[in-house]
Structure 1
Amino acid sequence: MTQSTEERVAGSEIIYGLNDKPAPTTSFLAALQHLLAIFIGIMTPPLIIGGALQLPPDMKAYIISMALFVSGIATFIQVKKFGPIGSGLLSIQGTSFTFLSLSIGIGLSVKAAGGSPEQALGTIFGVALICSPMEMIFSRFVPALKKVITPLVSGIVVTLIGLSLIRVAVTDIGGGQWLLSNKPELYASPTNLLLAALVIVTIIVLNRSRNQWLRMGAIAIALILGYCVAAALGLVQFAKLGGMDVFTAPVPFKFGFYISWEHVLPMALLYLITTVESMGDLTATSMVSGEPVEGETYMKRISGGILGDGINSALAAVFNSFPNTTFSQNNGVIQMTGVASRHVGFWISGLLVIFGLFPVIGGLISLIPNSVLGGATVIMFGTVAAAGIRIIASSVIDRRGMLIMAISLAMGLGVVFRPEILAGFPDVIKQIFGSAITTGGLTAIFLNVVLPQSLREQKVETSQDPLSVKH
């Protein structure tokens, strides 16, 4: 027996379910909130890489525009679902932070050898392109790994994703990483803290309203309010819009196609790592959307989502952008607004493409002060961690489960609290295991394989597995 839409919505506090079609105004409002949550995240990797490689302003602006453009196309593929490609969930694609350090390393090695900025970018995109099939191949084996990637493992990964992102949000509340690094005396000023508090309080008040329109618009309203107050205080630098191009055309392989063979293996390993992250993100999206997090339907969505990740990363390389992955930020938006309709994803993808082609439009959003953005993201990232805890709670938590949770969370957060622990290892190891998500996720998978299950847990898993029922 399947659950009715009304029962599902009431049980999960979802206003619009996965296949519901909200009115255009509602869809646009929900899409805007997702964009406000992910816009900076999509632009940050090309900003950081462009700065590290000392790219000219026009080249840096171009790769930022292409990051937005590709994210729009990739989101459409992921949400629409073409055959086995895509999850069919409201899962947003964006530029992955996982590949940040390696991309900078590739670019710097090319420049150190006398290469031009164009060759540096062409090499990064070339290596990313030839390694992208790694994720595509791995996606085909996901259904066979349902005994390995259990709700316990997925829940741990999702929890670590949320906890890792909270650090970014809190940094933004104080004014952002740049301010902390370059002008620490201005960091966490009363103005920044009050702006963040204004956004947080507005979201809380509107989210608890019985009016579904206020609830769905809580994040957007809070961010717009914070933006306006910051602008009135002179904290929004509109002058930065003056040098932006009106239109940017996507040109495949604009910077050429080159391969640095010594970086192929590290890139391939990172694709495997981002697969684990995507499984956690997609599981969280399914959970907060009121959809199953186990069984055949769930596994098909995970497989399709990871295959979509790989194909979208290849597409990104062709159009001069960095590898894409599923974003966890939108899970917080879904939970806060109650809108899980994948039809909203079509609006998001269209708006991202427009922002990529017309940089000035996106530039207005990019001017949101860090403290305003941090006030919203700290709540959204917290809900991601909470979703992970809910997923963990859906599995059997016996002594074995407690041991897996304890070690995985300790290892994952340990490398973040004390990154010096990896100081004696090669850079490749630091890049792979320097992330809480990677270290904690791989630890959970390893322990789930090597630690024997209790008889009680085996019986519960068998009874819950829809594939074990003979029809």
Structure 2
Amino acid sequence: MTSHHSDLLYGLEDRPRPLPALFAALQHILASFVGIITPPLVIGSALGLAAHLPYLISMALMVSGVGTFIQARRPFGIGAGMICLQGTSFAFLGAVLSAGFIVKSRGGSPEDILAMIFGVCFFGAFVQIVLSRFIGKLRRIVTPLVTGIVITLIGVSLIKVGITDLGGGFNAPDFGAPGNLALGSLVLATIILLNRSSKPWVRLSSIIIGLAVGSLAAWFSGKLVPHALPDLPLISVPLPFRFGFSFDWTAFLPVALIYLISSIETVGDLTANCMLSRRPIEGPEYVGRLKGGVLGDGVSCLLAATFSAFPNTTFAQNNGVIQLTGVASRYVGLYIGALLFVLGLFPLIGAILQQIPKPVLGGATLVMFGSVAAAGIRILSQAELDRRSLLIIAASLGIGLGVAAQPTLLHHLPKLVQNLFDSAITCGGLTAIVLSLLLPAERPTTSAEPLLGKH
């Protein structure tokens, strides 16, 4: 141990020996593995992409590994130079599913759907790359109030996906069957109970254990009948734009908005990481890490779209692992990246995970998506909730959730408008941004001024 920090076993620039570094890296992977593979499982289930799921899961793990390696190594100033585990972002699920359903409604094949998704995500990554150069100004436009509203809308929108899987999945003939509800409830209860444990690693493993318990129960009840694994190559070979390349403005704009919000989320995660790693949270070094970290996210997303993975972001839960282990060494990030890349090489992993029954997956994703909404509410609680803020929250949630609840509301408007604004995230998010810019901030009331209701 070479660190001079009393509360860190290994500081940011310390080099742990291979065995401790490997053990610390495995704990980070344990905390993030489910988060990386769940979005491909959810998107594949909703859009009918089962044939391509093993490859999509492999690419998700592989790109996460490369992105994490870049963040830790910081080549050419790309990356924060810290343990910033890159994982598939839940924030993009609603916008990605919306893009997929646009193509599906036109009669597009699974390959057409993926070409559109990765096309719009590819160009969307440049939004984040450009924004990384203007982090200071961006934080003044997209405030915690706006960020909290959008993240809350993302979580609430995704809950429908989780509860649908819990019931059996889209168009399932046994949707809502008692067996499905029991399995989903078992997984949900297991995750909740384990999260109340006083042991940190039980909490970190709660989702993996919940999925394992649910799959075991499904096997005993006959809901999980293991199928013969498909004839897959031993190694997944990353191919650029394997499914082609397509673009549509109506699919792009919601994705671009989420890239904007994701950049602000990354700033918060990087700030927390700096604090845990005992690095400055102001001054040139801090600003440099923010710019490099958001740029690293953008480059990671660019690689993801190129090699058939969904958009990435810096995972917040891995800050908790740094705090629990006392290991902040960025060299551990290199081990994490290498291990994730190796895991992604084998499509057999994706084929096995694909067999998890929908109710089991739904029980886990329901609490995960609920956690997204709860994170948004937590951010809102930290903003100053004066009359102006409450009005912005009310209008944004009302418009966003209202359009999502009544999708035929816009059916008399041009198709372009329908496709752009039929998403709760787009409608609510744009409403929050516009109102925040237009409505002047309230002037603080002084003791000499009369208060409302006092005479």
Q: TM-score, normalised by structure 2?
A: 0.75
Q: CA 1:201/1:84 → structure 2, altered by over 3 Å: closer, same or farther?
A: same
Aligned 8 A contact 1:332 1:380 in 2: no
Where 1:243 maps in the other structure, the secondary structure is coil
Match among 248, 252, 265 for residue 236 of structure 2: 248
Deviation at 1:176, TM superposition (A): 2.0
Mapped partners of 2:241, 2:437: distance in 1: 42
Aligned 8 A contact 1:31 1:345 in 2: no
Q: Which residue is 1:377 aligned to? A: 365
Q: Which residue is 1:35 aligned to? A: 33
Mapped partners of 1:17, 1:454: distance in 2: 44
Where 2:88 maps in the other structure, the secondary structure is strand
Aligned: 1:316 with 2:304: yes
Deviation at 1:346, TM superposition (A): 5.9
Where does structure 2 lack aligned partners over 5 or more consecutive residues? 446-455
Match among 122, 131, 139 for residue 138 of structure 1: 131
Mapped partners of 1:436, 1:455: distance in 2: 31
Mapped partners of 1:402, 1:81: distance in 2: 41
Deviation at 1:359, TM superposition (A): 0.8
Q: Which residue is 2:256 aligned to? A: 272
Mapped partners of 1:138, 1:423: distance in 2: 34
Amino acid at match of 2:231: G
1:136-170 per-residue CA deviation (whole Å, 9 max, x = no partner) reads: 22332332132221111111122222222222222
Mapped partners of 2:123, 2:261: distance in 1: 21
Moved more, 306-315 or 164-173: 306-315
Q: Which residue is 2:169 aligned to? A: 176
Aligned 8 A contact 1:17 1:289 in 2: no
Deviation at 1:251, TM superposition (A): 2.9
Q: CA 1:231/1:123 → structure 2, altered by over 3 Å: closer, same or farther?
A: closer
Mapped partners of 1:421, 1:380: distance in 2: 30
Residues 50-89 of structure 1: pairs in structure 2 closer than 5 A: 51=49, 57=51, 62=55, 65-78=58-71, 81-82=74-75, 85-86=78-79
Q: Which residue is 2:226 aligned to? A: 238
1:376-402 per-residue CA deviation (whole Å, 9 max, x = no partner) reads: 222222222222222112121111011
Match among 141, 144, 148 for residue 148 of structure 1: 141
Amino acid at match of 1:385: A
Mapped partners of 2:318, 2:161: distance in 1: 17
Aligned 8 A contact 1:106 1:124 in 2: no
Q: CA 1:154/1:60 → structure 2, altered by over 3 Å: closer, same or farther?
A: closer
Q: Which residue is 2:451 aligned to? A: none
The percent of aligned pairs where both chains have the same amino acid is 38
Q: Which residue is 1:460 aligned to? A: none
Aligned: 1:159 with 2:152: yes
Mapped partners of 2:379, 2:360: distance in 1: 30
1:331-381 per-residue CA deviation (whole Å, 9 max, x = no partner) reads: 579779986988787666545433432111222222222222222222222
Q: Which residue is 1:360 aligned to? A: 348
Where 2:383 maps in the other structure, the secondary structure is coil
Moved more, 212-221 or 83-92: 83-92
Mapped partners of 2:176, 2:197: distance in 1: 30
Aligned 8 A contact 2:149 2:393 in 1: yes
Moved more, 117-126 or 244-253: 117-126
Where 1:224 maps in the other structure, the secondary structure is helix
Where 1:241 maps in the other structure, the secondary structure is coil
Deviation at 1:23, TM superposition (A): 6.9
Aligned 8 A contact 2:37 2:57 in 1: no
Q: Which residue is 1:326 aligned to? A: 313
Amino acid at match of 1:398: D
Deviation at 1:444, TM superposition (A): 1.0
Moved more, 95-104 or 166-175: 95-104
Mapped partners of 2:73, 2:424: distance in 1: 31
Q: CA 1:308/1:413 → structure 2, altered by over 3 Å: closer, same or farther?
A: farther
Moved more, 88-97 or 414-423: 88-97
Deviation at 1:240, TM superposition (A): 4.4
Residues 316-465 of structure 1: pairs in structure 2 closer than 5 A: 316-319=304-307, 321=308, 324-326=311-313, 349-350=337-338, 352-456=340-444
Amino acid at match of 1:31: I
Aligned: 1:191 with 2:184: no
Moved more, 19-28 or 441-450: 19-28
Mapped partners of 1:207, 1:65: distance in 2: 28
Deviation at 1:106, TM superposition (A): 6.5
Moved more, 338-347 or 189-198: 338-347
Where does structure 1 lack aligned partners over 5 or more consecutive residues? 10-15, 458-471
Aligned 8 A contact 1:68 1:355 in 2: yes
Aligned: 1:93 with 2:94: no
- RMSD over aligned CA atoms reads 4.3
* Corresponding residue pairs, total: 425
Q: CA 1:350/1:227 → structure 2, altered by over 3 Å: closer, same or farther?
A: farther
Amino acid at match of 2:421: F
Q: Which residue is 1:468 aligned to? A: none
Aligned 8 A contact 1:33 1:219 in 2: no
Mapped partners of 1:119, 1:153: distance in 2: 33
Mapped partners of 2:178, 2:429: distance in 1: 38
Mapped partners of 1:40, 1:144: distance in 2: 33
Q: Which residue is 1:13 aligned to? A: none
Deviation at 1:291, TM superposition (A): 6.1
